[in-house]
Amino acid sequence: MRLKNEVAIITGAASGIGQAVAVQFAEEGAKVVLVDLNSCEKTIGLLNGAEYLECLGDIRDPEFVKATVNRTAEKYGEVHILVNNAGTCSRLDLEDMTLEMWDRDLDTNLKATFLFTQAVVYPHMKEAGYGRIVNISSVSGINGGVTSGGNEKNGRSGPAYAASKGGVIALTRWVAKELGQYGITCNSVAPGATLTAITAGVQYDTSNQVIDRMGDANDIANAVLYFSTKEAGYTTSQVLKVDGGVSIG
């Protein structure tokens, strides 16, 4: 059990990638803190009796973030792992992008990542001299947005999503450089087209990928698991693209 007795906070744990991460972590012996705006009942039903703490609220709210981390520390004593997974994806193009949608994606994808990272590191991970932080970014933050099949309007992930995920990558690298001295690693997993609620109703053309299919939540969770283990202690500031090879060329 690679995460035996470790405590992991996972945002966006009610479904999709966050749910898959929570289930895998529980199977590996972790105590999982399930963070979401919506009920995590379905995820809890998949944990097979593993220990968990459910924290429901808005991850963009600094007070909720602090309260979640404090509840975790009070119950379990330490926080070993943070997975910043929760996200939103607007598909409006530049012409139609609204300030409301821009703020939503930036606040959910980037601001919340900053808030949770700050809250778990100071003082918890820093005092413990150990921590694993994994941020879910996207190949959209690298290449400017995955284009869906047929190039239909509003199929491509929008500029707010791409900008927020690019920001997550930059933040990952900054944090890695800052916190390595304390035994804390920070890495990012960048999914390509993956079957989740965010991609529901969007048809992606995967024929230009080396692996001609969309990814699933477990494909991403497998990469998150590696970055979260003790064995990954010499790996930091990395962005692992889990995208079926679409980024090759």
**Unique residue bearing structure tokens 């996200």:** 87
Distances (CA, A) of 89 to 199, 218, 239: 9, 20, 20
Sign of CA dihedral 138, 156, 210, 86: positive
Cα distance between residue 246 and residue 249, in whole Å: 7
Catalytic residue, from 161, 182, 204, 226: name it: 161
Cβ count near 231 (within 10 Å): 10
Helices (DSSP H) in the chain: which residue ranges? Answer: 16-27, 41-44, 62-76, 99-106, 112-120, 126-128, 140-143, 159-179, 217-228
* Catalytic (active site) residue 161: yes
Cα distance between residue 158 and residue 155, in whole Å: 8
Positions marked active-site: 161
